[in-house]
Amino acid sequence: MFLQLKNISKSYGNPANTTRQVVLDNLSFSVNEGDTLAILGPSGSGKSTLLNIIGTLDRPDTGSYTYKGKDITTFTDSGLDLFRNREIGFVFQFHHLLPQCNLLENVLIPTLVDKTNKKEKFDYAKQLINKVGLWEHRHKLPGQLSGGECQRAAVVRAMINRPSLILADEPTGALDRKNVDKMSDLLLQLNSEQKATLILVTHSRSLASKMETVYEIMEGKLQQQ
């Protein structure tokens, strides 16, 4: 099994307070390598919390998280930092490109942890940037790019370390319809070519329908659609 969550629970608020909010309630599910999966749900349903736990940006209160046979919940903070850098590519609703860095520099930021094979990383960055049609814009700052161009650059940045897992949190939420279709096609193309497992959370049922598996989160649990 590529990825498995078992009996994951997560709450927010003071444990002594009766208004403590249970967001994830004894939730379990698994994902196979190379799968494409969408998680639907309204705002506040726990979609992003679940994605953050999968991406190790947050820890569950209880439960286990196994990734390629390793129990991620036992990792130290430094171990999680290394795990995220090597294994996971994040795509968010807003691109989060550094405004003072040009497109190429933004794409290469995740590679700075490992100072070896710089030419190989540059060549791969060039390949990916060309793939999304942005190479001629590589020296432009984010403020000189359109929203769709920035989001495509953010996807390239997420792929630069050849992750096994792509996590996308409302990746088309800030885009117009034309760019929504381009973004979904790009993510599915990278999933197919790079064999990277794709998990995204979205409000959009049309975007979710393009994934192989669709779940909806309701009352802290996942229901397959």
> How would DSSP label each residue in 109-123?
GGGGG--S-HHHHHH
What does the alpha-carbon distance between residue 61 and residue 138 come to, in Å, rounded to a whole number?
42
Among 11-25, 136-150, 159-173, the least confident range: 11-25
- Comparing C-alpha atoms, which of 127, 215, 211 is closest to residue 171? 211
- Domains in the chain, number: 1
Could you give the C-alpha distances from 8 to 11, 49, 126, in angstroms and in order?
A: 10, 11, 40
Could you give the C-alpha distances from 188 to 38, 39, 63, 191, in angstroms and in order?
A: 12, 16, 30, 5
Looking at residue 9, what is its pLDDT? 93
> In terms of residue numbers, what domain contains 185?
3-224
Contacts of 100 (CB under 8 A, 6+ apart): 141
What does the alpha-carbon distance between residue 82 and residue 172 come to, in Å, rounded to a whole number?
28
The stretch 47-72 carries a mean pLDDT of 92
pLDDT at 16 over 70: no
* Percentage of residues in the chain having pLDDT higher than 70: 97
According to DSSP, the β-strands at 197-202 and 36-40 are parallel
Q: How confident is the model at residue 15 (pLDDT cuts 50, 70, 90)?
A: low
What does the alpha-carbon distance between residue 160 and residue 143 come to, in Å, rounded to a whole number?
22
The CATH number of the domain holding residue 169 is: 3.40.50.300
Could you give the C-alpha distances from 111 to 18, 49, 85, 117, in angstroms and in order?
A: 45, 26, 8, 10
Buried b (16+ CB within 10 A) or exposed e, 48-66: bbbbbbbbbeeebeebebb
Among 37-41, 141-145, 186-190, the least confident range: 186-190
- pTM tops 0.85, yes or no: yes
Q: Contact at 8 Å (CB) between 37 and 213?
A: yes
Query: What residue type is 224 in one-letter code?
Result: Q
Looking at residue 137, what is its pLDDT? 96
Q: How confident is the model at residue 54 (pLDDT cuts 50, 70, 90)?
A: very high
What does the alpha-carbon distance between residue 111 and residue 129 come to, in Å, rounded to a whole number?
15
